[in-house]
Amino acid sequence: MVRFVARRLVGMITVLFAVSLIVFVVFMVLPKQNPAQSLAGKNATPLLVKSIEEEWGFDESLPQQYLTMMERVFTGELIQYEPRIPVSDRVIEGIPATFSLTIGAAAIWLFFGLLLGYLSAVRAGGWLDRILTGVSIAGISIPVFLLAPVLIYVFANKLEILPNGQYVPFSEDPTEWLKHLILPWITLAVLSIGFYSRVLRSNMLDVMNEDYVRTARAKGLSERQVMTRHVLRNSLIPVITLFGLDFGATIAGTAIITEVIFSIDGIGNYAAEGVGKFELPPIMGVALYGAFFVVLLNTIVDVVYAYLDPRVRLGETASS
Amino acid sequence: MKKLGAPIAVLVLAAVAALGLASCGGGSDSTSGDSGGGQKGGTLNGTYGSFPDYLDPAISYTAEGWTAMADVYIPLLTYKHANGEEGSEVVPGLAEDLPKITNGGKTYTLKLRPGLKYSDGTPVKASDFRFAVERMIQLNSGGSPFYLTIEGAEDFAKTKKGPIPGIKTNDKTGEIVVNLEGPRGTFTNELGLMFVAPLPPDTPVEDLSANPPPATGPYMITKSQPGKGWEYERNPYWAKANGKAMPDYPEGVIDSAKMTVIRNPESQVDDIEQGTYQWMQNPPPSSRYAEVKEKYEGTQYRPESTVSTYYFWMNTQKPPFDDLKVRQAVNHAIDAKALERIYAGQITATQQILPPGMPGYEKFELYPYDLDKAKQMIKEANPSDMDITVWTDTESPNNEGGEYLNEVLKDLGFNTTFKILNADNYFTVIGNATTPDLDAGWSDWFQDYPHPNDFFQPLLAGESILPTNNGNFAKLDDPAINQKINELGAEQLGPEQEEAYKELDKEIMELAPWAPYGTRTLSTFVSDEIDLDSVIFNPTFGHYLTSFEFK
Amino acid sequence: MPTEPSAERGPWSLALRRFLRNRLAVAFLGVFLLIVVFVLAAPLWADHVAHTGPNEEHTVEQITVDGEQKDVVTPEGKPIGPQWFGADGKFFLGADSRLGRDEMVRLMYGGRTSLLVGITAALLATILAIVLGLLAGYFRGWVDSLIARTLDTIWSLPVFLIGLSFGIALAVGGLDLGFVELSGGSLWIPILIISIFTVPYIARPIRGEVLALSEKEFVEAAIAQGASPGRVMFTEILPNLASTVIVFFTLMIANSMLFEAGLSFLGAGVQPPNSSWGTMITVGVELLRIQPLLAILPGAMIMLTVLALNIVGDGLRDALDPRGKARMDAALQFEAQAGAGGGAAI
């Protein structure tokens, strides 16, 4: 187990390194442009551009710039361009909002996704199954940036029962915190509920006719015991994989569109700001923060996976 | 007057005077009911669509930043707190008077008002001006090019080692003498920009957006959370010192203000309608514009004209747009009416370089809309290169404006490649000489200050064609025009110069490097708690914090 | 009916017959085909009914409706609503924005782009995912580590940020890799971005299944018989992945279409003058309060397409994987025992 974790740790560092490199290359090399030019503004003289290059180190070679940037990341001195404040400050400030958004939505989508999937599978072929399947598919096919404005329009403008966005910290006012998060939670959850319910349903149906299930039934276990102890446990494995990926991705800030539309000051919103201004430091900061969480969650998923499916764990140690 | 009447007249006058004194109550009275006597005090809650580039007067170069800091940092000169063209007048700020200009336009002499203090109690000294200029240059501010004609400023910009010899100050008398390398007609206006607002000499030479420096204006910024918002309180030293020294400068009505960044313009409009916030700095989005105008014009909404020009540029140095006839044909093919609709009524059509509201503006129409004539002209011109690339940015409705241009050029027979770039990237890319296929595209320009040179010099002068950060997208380099721009730019602006600028505008439009199409209308939109009529919108600095009043 | 081993009957014809018996799936296959016909008919409609192209602007024009002259775009910038056949088919669904383009024509042309990008991206992603999943799950060890780490890296990348910057960067200069050159507006750019980023989503579950499958006896038997790794992977394991792959593939088309919409929303997907249902939703959301149809129509088209694809996908899964169908039957039997009604499988 220790070797397993150790290997995963090395893997994490490799991934973080790769991510930082790719982000750097994409932003500095591809667009082929000099950030000093944007910073210099509309009346710039060549002298001003040069001064800015010197100030920020844009005149250094690309590898050197990469090393300087990574150094600053580790010392927490990575500064964004406009205004010149530390990226880490903004990222840390954004964590409460993004965490509130993600964890709440994830809880909702996991619960309802599994519930709907379970009911669908158990009542497979029936009218409930068909309705739930329809609902699931509807959920996964609405783009976020269509659903969110419609929800805002209906609940915040027409009915005026919920606020139209922004984030209120829990410490400031728990009721408001909740009220402000309901619509964003629904927006994020709706998409995933559909997906998860269908995946679970599909897996459960696959598993339900496996030999060991028939054996369990033959042994005389009740249907409920068969379902929970054998079918569900084995169907959950791919679901857990997906959940780990999704949760990691969402905490990492891929809820960008949701955060922007609801004006939630989280990390996704900060990322959107950085992209809008095309500034590398915020993007690097968000990317590394995000990559860290994704890898962390992937690792957790792998550990859980190995625990649930001994064949995998043993298979790995056997061939290593 | 009869003998009996005189004592009565005095009594009446005294009574009126007494009544007047009584009704203009002090500090925290509730509404007096008189016009202009709205509720004193209160906290203004406003929203911005984005956080300003900086909350540091030396480096901010955006409308958001200037609006946010206008009544906080007062330069030596400032602009009159008035709507419309009146707001273009330069008036004394921290200086006693407008500068004395001598030595063929090369020497500017000013005197600092005595008794001025910063919001932390430090007295304002004449040498603080030189410090502010040096700090601005050391921070590599985008505004520094305006001040490089000061003797020794260019060397300072290279070495960052001062002091700048061209600025001489005397802290005892308060005298400030600035010597320029050559005459500069726009320098008075530039002294009115926040870039060179005096700051305490111990102000750190770094971006202070998270912790803005002490203020000289009626309000100070007390808390700043970059990306999220900031707060204002009354500057205690305004009432004690600066307000007394600058009686003409408005003292402001509200006690404090809190600005929040909300990146969703639809939400911002909803918030104003529901009264959650009282003011939004950016205009309502095009999709809500008509609705807001209809429901609230006169009560909570007011359109504001700006001094800006929206235009399509054409690269005069490459075929097909190196041919005058082709450029003129494009001008004939642009239908201002269509663009007004595309902008949902938020631009007013124009065909000049200078916009209305700028001294030197005169309306003329060299190229009435005539699509057939345009097609005919293209046929006659028979350009060698019919493959062109059209550029625009992503910000709505400019992207639609660009699409409009694209379709018009296709109608004229060109094979177009259409490129849309991210708004923040756009000007850097089209301003970079290494970008290929810069044939035609969209652009806009808002005045830095109300002097025509601010339009002609950076956008249409040959010497402004730079390998990077180019602003002269049409790459116009006409020697006669260049000479005129330079000559006029050195002279102080007067009626003679305004006439000459009108001529210059026409001359350049005869060369048709651009197809200008409109002037942007921005907005004042407040909640029903705010007195709409008291709000002042300055074309350069936007909405003045000192002009907001609760009803 | 006499039953014969499927191997002798031809598995594909059996599968086809099973599929055809699934009436719901067949119905929605029809829906999907209708959608395809709808988008393919775009030039016909544009030329003969609407008499305008998808990008032609009619901002200041007027049309005659029942003898009355109406503005295509009002001076305040409001586009005209659906005219149905009131103007002889012009602006059947109204105008799309302040540029006054025909919404119906754009809906049809946009659909072509959406389907093209969605299907191609999903196909590419699935093929890549199968290869990677097979290699990782079969060989394990360092191969697995390498592939898993690469997938992790891709998955950890800020998808929208990278996709966005690629889109932005390439929109300017295009992509020139020597052996292949793409112009900035090429559809291959969003297709490639989407497929690369969705590979991990499919590859991980496939890898998981391959890991499990490679423990099974028939695989061990094949290896014992001397089959090469390639043969084992592609002949023994791959067919057993079929149902997983098919289910994921159909879901991935939907995912890709939505991904493209998201990229287009941020300006990095389909570039003008091309348009897709995604770009149309972006424009429509801006005008949501003025003309909600402009957002709802393309949104509904995406939803309908996705619904159809999913139902057909399920039907395919049931048809191709007899054990799946048998599982379905077993489930139905159990259902019958439990008292719930039976019915056509979905």
Give mean pLDDT, residues B250-270. Answer: 92
What mean pLDDT do residues C59-85 have? 83
Q: Quick check: B4 pLDDT over 60?
A: no
| Tokens (6 digits) for A280 | 């590398």
What is the bridge-based pairing of β-strands C175-176 and C68-71? unpaired
Does residue B6 have a pLDDT over 50?
no
- The predicted structure's pLDDT at residue B487: 94
pLDDT band at C175 (very low <50, low <70, confident <90, very high): low
pLDDT at site C179: 57
Q: Do B267 and A278 touch (CB under 8 A)?
A: no
Q: Are A125 and C332 in contact (CB under 8 A)?
A: yes
User: How many Å lie between the alpha carbon of C102 and the closest alpha carbon of chain B?
Assistant: 15
For range C267-282, the mean pLDDT: 82
Q: What is the pLDDT of residues C110-122, one digit of tens each?
A: 999 999 999 999 9
More confident residue, C186 or A85: A85
pLDDT at B36 over 80: no
Give residue B19's pLDDT: 37
pLDDT at B9 over 90: no
Instruction: For residue range C111-159, list pLDDT tens digits in order.
Output: 999 999 999 999 999 999 999 988 888 888 888 888 887 887 787 777 6
DSSP element (H, E) containing B205: none
pLDDT higher than threshold 50 for residue B547: yes
Percent of chain C beyond pLDDT 90? 14
Confidence (pLDDT) at C10:
67
Most confident of B336-345, B496-505, C247-256: B496-505
What does the pLDDT read at residue C121? 94
pLDDT band at B43 (very low <50, low <70, confident <90, very high): very high
Residue B30: is its pLDDT beyond 70? no
Categorize the per-residue pLDDT at B5 as very low, low, confident or very high, splitting at 50, 70 and 90.
very low
Contacts of C148 in chain A (CB under 8 A): 11
Average pLDDT over residues B41-65: 94
Q: What is the pLDDT of residues C315-328, one digit of tens each?
A: 777 776 655 444 43
Grade residue A314 by pLDDT with cuts at 50, 70 and 90.
Answer: low
Give the mean model confidence (pLDDT) for residues A13-33. 79
Per the prediction, chain A carries an average pLDDT of 82
A254 sits in which H/E element: none
CA distance C186 to C190: 8
- Overall average pLDDT of the B102-125 stretch: 95
Whether residue B420 and residue C267 make contact (CB cut-off 8 A), yes or no, is yes
Q: Is B288 in Cβ contact with C168 (below 8 Å)? A: no
Q: A162-166, B50-54, B325-329, B465-469: which range is least confident on average?
A: A162-166
C177/A269: higher pLDDT: A269
Sign of CA dihedral B420, B423, B427, B429: negative
Asked if B271 and A164 come within 8 Å (Cβ–Cβ), the reply is: yes
How close B211 gets to chain A, by Cα (Å)? 10
Q: Which residue has the higher pLDDT, C311 or B305?
A: B305
Range scoring the smallest mean pLDDT among B446-450, C172-176, C250-254: C172-176
Q: Higher model confidence: residue B123 or residue A171? A: B123
CA distance A313 to chain C (A): 10
Question: CB distance from C182 to chain B under 8 Å?
Answer: no
pLDDT value of position B131 = 96
Q: Is residue B60 very low, low, confident or very high in pLDDT (cuts 50, 70, 90)?
A: very high
Which of C152, C162, C340 lies nearest to residue A15, judging by beta carbons? C152
In the predicted structure, residue C336 carries a pLDDT above the cut 60: no
Residue C329 pLDDT: 40
The predicted model gives A189-203 an average pLDDT of: 82
Contact A41 B154 (CB under 8 A): no
Position B70 scores a pLDDT of: 95
More confident: B7 or C147: C147
* Distant-in-sequence, close-in-space partners of B196: CB < 8 Å, separation ≥ 6: B75, B76, B129, B132, B133, B136, B147, B190
The model's confidence at residue B113, banded by pLDDT at 50, 70 and 90, is very high
Q: B419: which strand partners?
A: B391
C-alpha–C-alpha distance, residues B462 and B471, integer Å: 11
Of B52, B264, B468, the CB nearest to A34: B468
pLDDT tens digit sequence for B284-330: 988 888 889 999 999 999 999 999 999 999 999 998 999 999 999 99
Q: Write the pLDDT tens digit of every residue in B434-454.
A: 888 899 999 999 999 999 999
| B99: pLDDT strictly greater than 50 | yes
Q: Is C267 on the interface with B (CB under 8 A)?
A: yes
Percentage above 70 pLDDT, chain B = 93
Under a CB-based contact definition with an 8 Å cutoff, are residues A153 and A164 in contact?
Answer: no
* Among B140, B143, B422, beta carbon nearest to A51: B140
DSSP state of C232: I
Q: How many residue contacts between B and C have a Cβ separation below 8 Å?
A: 90
Q: What is the pLDDT of residue B23?
A: 38
The pLDDT confidence band at residue C229, using thresholds 50, 70 and 90, is confident
| Alpha-carbon gap, residue B235 to B242, rounded angstroms | 10
Crossing angle for the helix pair C103-139 and C23-40, to the nearest 10 degrees: 120
d(CA B547, CA B304): 15
Q: DSSP labels for B460-526?
A: H-GGG--SSS---TT----HHHHHHHHHHHHSPP-HHHHHHHHHHHHHHHHH-SEEEEEEEEEEEEE
CA pair distance C79, C88, nearest whole angstrom:
18
Q: Say if residue A217 is exposed, middle or buried (CB neighbours under 10 Å; 0-12, 13-18, 19+).
A: middle
CA distance C185 to A108: 40
Mean pLDDT is lowest, of A298-307, C75-84, C288-297, for: A298-307
Interface test with C, best of A147, A201, A275 (most C CBs within 10 A): A275
Judged by a CB distance cut-off of 8 A, whether residue B422 touches chain C is: yes
Q: Rounded to a whole number, what is the distance in Å from the CA of B481 to chain A's nearest CA?
A: 20
Is the model more confident about B119 or about C229?
Answer: B119
- How much is the pLDDT for A320? 34
Q: Considering chain C, what is the average pLDDT of its residues?
A: 78
User: Which tokens is B216 given?
Assistant: 């000289």
Q: Is the pLDDT of residue C339 over 70?
A: no
Q: Indicate the pairing of strand B229-234 with strand B219-225.
A: antiparallel
Residue in the structure block whose two tokens are 């402001």: B252
Residue B20 pLDDT class (50, 70, 90 cuts): very low
Please, are residues A207 and A213 in contact by the beta-carbon 8 Å criterion? Answer: yes
> SS in 3 state form for C26-60?
HHHHHHHHHHHHHHHCHHHHHHHHHCCCCCCCCCC
CB contact under 8 A, B468 and A260: no
Percent of chain B scored above 90 by pLDDT? 76
C149·A11 Cβ contact <8 A: yes
* Chains adjacent to B (≥3 CB pairs closer than 8 angstroms): A, C
- pLDDT(A317) > 60: no
Radius of gyration of chain B (CA): 25
Label residue B139 by pLDDT band (50, 70, 90). Answer: very high
Kindly state the percentage of chain A with pLDDT values over 70: 93
Check residue B414 and give its pLDDT.
94
B516 preceded by a cis bond (ω within 30 of 0): no
**B430 has a pLDDT exceeding 80:** yes
CB C280 within 8 A of CB C96: yes
Q: Is the peptide bond before C273 cis (omega within 30 degrees of 0)?
A: yes
Confidence of residue C9 (pLDDT cuts 50, 70, 90): low
Q: How far apart are CA B63 and CA B82, in angstroms?
A: 17
Sign of CA dihedral B48, B50, B53, B56: positive
So what's the pLDDT on residue C334?
A: 37
pLDDT for res C181: 60
Query: Which residue in the set B56, B429, B467 is minimally distant from A33, CB to CB?
Result: B429
CB within 8 Å of A190: residues ≥ 6 apart: A139, A142, A147
Query: B347 with B517: CB under 8 angstroms?
Result: yes
Q: Exposed, middle or buried by CB within 10 Å (0-12, 13-18, 19+), for A296?
A: middle
